[in-house]
């Protein structure tokens, strides 16, 4: 499942590609035909993420013009949650805005980012008169602007909501380390501290609870707890507030960095020198850890990027003890029993 930084990257890419444009909105698969009708021909005026929720704001084109964005309550919002299998696929005419937003003729962003290479991957050049490629697979929503197309497949949630309904969703979510707090909003760090400390659940569970903190997934959970040297099974109410403030500040840095680069890197340079075998597709069928930056020359390879995630049985980068794994509420939890005692 994509973690929050990926959803923020999607919000940014969609905003850069389409803001200010009246979009052709359709549901090639048909399952979202009624919702698409409500948005078709409207102008994209906002593209936001809160945790793993993506919100695209569409306004009536007759109400949007230079210097006016219409009334906020008239905006219709497309709410999307990718869940386990959802992804957006982008393609464009290669113009500057497209290259800036997605960096490739065709890119898929979901569980991880992929950029198909080689002949056939490129879309027609702009001077051929660009037209969007045919939808591939079961496309729930297709957004077409003048220079680009975005196709959504396999989301867990995809619906049109009012501004009020959007606020209700946001009110239920915990603070998001990637979001800047709006003026007058509560201090997100203190919200997070209070959310953890009012519960007797394990802090390792609370970090995955989107009502406590929005956008943290399995990787950021495992890695931030390791960096804080915090036992994942410690009850939330027993974790000192100062430790939680440091953990929050760390999540802000790590997740904003992930939003910038598209990859999660949590290891400090001095902890990467211990040679460790790559986590391979072994006989146990374990998934190899890959990141979209793996082929970039200066990127930290995935095998060096994490302290504990997918490193069970390998020596801890700090103390050398084998990294531990257990299932907690249906998700794999990785930690070091020595560093995080």
State the residues that interact with Zn ion by CB under 5 A. 316, 318-319, 336, 338-339
Assigned token pair, 106: 């065709």
Comparing CB distances to Zn ion, the nearer of 138 and 321 is 321
Comparing CB distances to Zn ion, the nearer of 274 and 290 is 274
Q: Any catalytic annotation for residue 2?
A: yes
Comparing CB distances to Zn ion, the nearer of 238 and 271 is 271
Comparing CB distances to Zn ion, the nearer of 93 and 231 is 231
* Spatial CB neighbours of 64, under 8 Å, sequence gap ≥ 6: 43, 45, 70
Per-position DSSP letters for 139-160, written without gaps between them: EEEEEE-SSEEEEEES-SEEEE
Q: How far is the CB of 248 from Zn ion (least distance, A)?
A: 22
* CA distances in angstroms from 217 to 222, 286, 321, listed in the order given: 9, 19, 24
Q: How far is the CB of 340 from Zn ion (least distance, A)?
A: 7
Q: How far is the CB of 260 from Zn ion (least distance, A)?
A: 28
Q: Any catalytic annotation for residue 3?
A: yes
Q: Which of 48, 60, 54 is nearest to 23 (CA)?
A: 60
Distance CA 176, CA 167 (A): 15
Annotated catalytic residue: which of 42, 52, 76, 197? Answer: 52
Q: Is the dihedral of CA 5, 210, 311, 282 positive or negative?
A: negative
Q: How far is the CB of 335 from Zn ion (least distance, A)?
A: 9
Q: Any catalytic annotation for residue 140?
A: no
Annotated catalytic residue: which of 3, 113, 123, 223? Answer: 3
The enclosing H or E element of 205 equals helix 203-206
Catalytic residues: 2-3, 52, 331
């Amino acid at each position: 499942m994509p973690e929050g930084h990926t959803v923020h990257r999607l919000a940014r890419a969609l905003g850069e590609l389409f803001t200010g444009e009246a979009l052709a909105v359709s549901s090639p698969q048909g399952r979202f035909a009624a919702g698409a009708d409500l948005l078709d021909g409207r102008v994209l005026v906002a593209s936001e993420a809160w945790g793993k929720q993506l919100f695209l704001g569409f306004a009536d084109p007759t109400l949007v013009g230079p210097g006016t964005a219409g009334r906020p309550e008239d905006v219709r919002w497309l709410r999307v949650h990718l869940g386990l299998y959802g992804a957006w696929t982008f393609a464009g005419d290669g113009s500057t805005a497209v290259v800036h937003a997605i960096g490739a003729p065709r890119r898929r962003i979901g569980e991880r980012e992929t950029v198909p290479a080689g002949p056939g991957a490129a879309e027609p050049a702009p001077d051929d008169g660009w037209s969007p490629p045919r939808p591939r697979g079961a496309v729930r929503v297709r957004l077409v602007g003048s220079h680009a197309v975005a196709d959504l497949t396999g989301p867990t949630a995809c619906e049109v909501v009012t501004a009020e309904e959007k606020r209700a969703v946001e009110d239920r979510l915990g603070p998001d380390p990637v979001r800047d707090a709006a003026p007058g909003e509560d201090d997100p760090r203190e919200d997070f501290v209070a959310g953890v400390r009012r519960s007797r659940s394990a802090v390792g569970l609370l970090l995955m609870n989107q009502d406590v903190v929005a956008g943290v997934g399995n990787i950021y959970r495992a890695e931030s707890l390791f960096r804080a040297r915090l036992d994942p099974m410690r009850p939330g109410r027993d974790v000192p507030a100062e430790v939680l403030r440091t953990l929050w500040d760390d999540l802000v840095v790590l997740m904003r960095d992930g939003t910038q680069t598209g990859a999660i890197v949590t290891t400090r340079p001095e902890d990467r020198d211990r040679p460790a075998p790559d986590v391979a597709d072994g006989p146990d069928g374990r998934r190899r850890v890959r990141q979209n930056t793996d082929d970039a020359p200066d990127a930290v390879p995935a095998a060096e990027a994490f302290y504990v995630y997918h490193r069970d049985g390998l020596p801890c980068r700090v103390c050398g003890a084998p990294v531990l794994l257990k299932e907690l509420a249906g998700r794999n939890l990785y930690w070091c029993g020595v560093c995080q005692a």
